[in-house]
């Protein structure tokens, strides 16, 4: 199912493992979905985000590498990857819709 690396990360961060499981059981986000709040997290917490047009970010040291990156839209896990492996991707319909619209 997942690589050893992904399994290692999910075991290390059980709250994120629960969010992953919930997201995998959820439907893809609708093609016309528009989030009010977009936030990006790693194992240490919030990296950056945008809420109602306002951008915000946190500072990290180079010695604090991210073990995973998680994108949440309106507090829903939409995308999570570990290294170059996508674990959750609920954005597929949005991406397809945008690609189709760019052809018009």
Residue 80 has a pLDDT of: 97
pLDDT tops 80 at residue 93: no
Helix (H), strand (E) at residue 2: none
Give the residue numbers spanning the domain of 77.
4-103
Structure tokens of 101? Answer: 């619209």
Residue appearing with tokens 């674990």: 87
Confidence of residue 94 (pLDDT cuts 50, 70, 90): low
- In angstroms, the CA 60 to CA 71 distance is 18
Confidence of residue 96 (pLDDT cuts 50, 70, 90): very low
Q: What tens digit of pLDDT does each residue of 37-75 get?
A: 999 999 999 999 999 989 999 988 888 899 999 999 999
Instruction: Please tell me the pTM assigned to this model.
Output: 0.84
Residue 104 has a pLDDT of: 41
pLDDT tops 90 at residue 26: yes
Say how many domains are in the chain: 1
Nearest C-alpha neighbor of 80 from the set 36, 4, 16: 16
């Amino acid at each position: 199912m997942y690589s050893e690396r992904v399994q290692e990360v999910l075991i290390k961060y059980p709250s994120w493992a629960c969010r992953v499981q919930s997201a995998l059981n959820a439907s893809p986000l609708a093609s016309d979905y528009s989030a009010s709040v977009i936030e990006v997290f790693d194992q240490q917490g919030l990296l950056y985000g945008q809420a109602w047009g306002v951008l915000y970010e946190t500072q990290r040291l180079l010695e604090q590498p991210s073990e995973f990156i998680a994108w949440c839209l309106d507090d829903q896990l939409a995308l999570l990857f570990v290294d170059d492996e996508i674990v959750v991707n609920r954005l597929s319909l949005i991406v397809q819709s945008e690609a189709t619209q760019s052809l018009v």
